[in-house]
Amino acid sequence: MIKKWTISLFSVFGAFFFGALAFSAVPDILGMWHLPAMGFGAAFMTVLISFISAPKFEYIYTTINLIIGAVIAWFLLEPSYYPESYGEDIAYQQTHTPIIATYTGALIAYLVCLAITKLANNRSS
């Protein structure tokens, strides 16, 4: 069982990095600010893979990862400032957009996990 939890933990870390890189690529290519998309992707993938890879206690494990991730995101993303590329009007002004996008990604992934469980229960009934 320890082996399965270890694999799950490494899967979650991999999902975090993959989600951050994958979701930040498109806005970066389009010349947009990549930080909100990066946070959304990292949170979404972390929560989803936590749920999928947990050998037991999926919701407890996912909720713990969500809470830990939310606290870490708060310390990493607050305060955030608009980048210089946004022009003189709002460049370097404080914004909460990255943390809101990150928390939104986590919440949507958690809702997807609930939907997966509900669909699985409906099919088994």
pLDDT tens-digit series, residues 21-37: 999 999 989 988 999 99
The mean pLDDT value for 77-81 works out to: 91
Q: From residue 39, how far is each of 15, 30, 70, 105 by CA, in Å?
A: 12, 17, 10, 8
pLDDT tens-digit series, residues 42-71: 999 999 999 999 999 999 999 999 999 999
What range defines the domain where residue 96 resides? 2-84+91-124
Considering the entire predicted model, what is its pTM?
0.91
Q: How many domains does the chain have?
A: 1
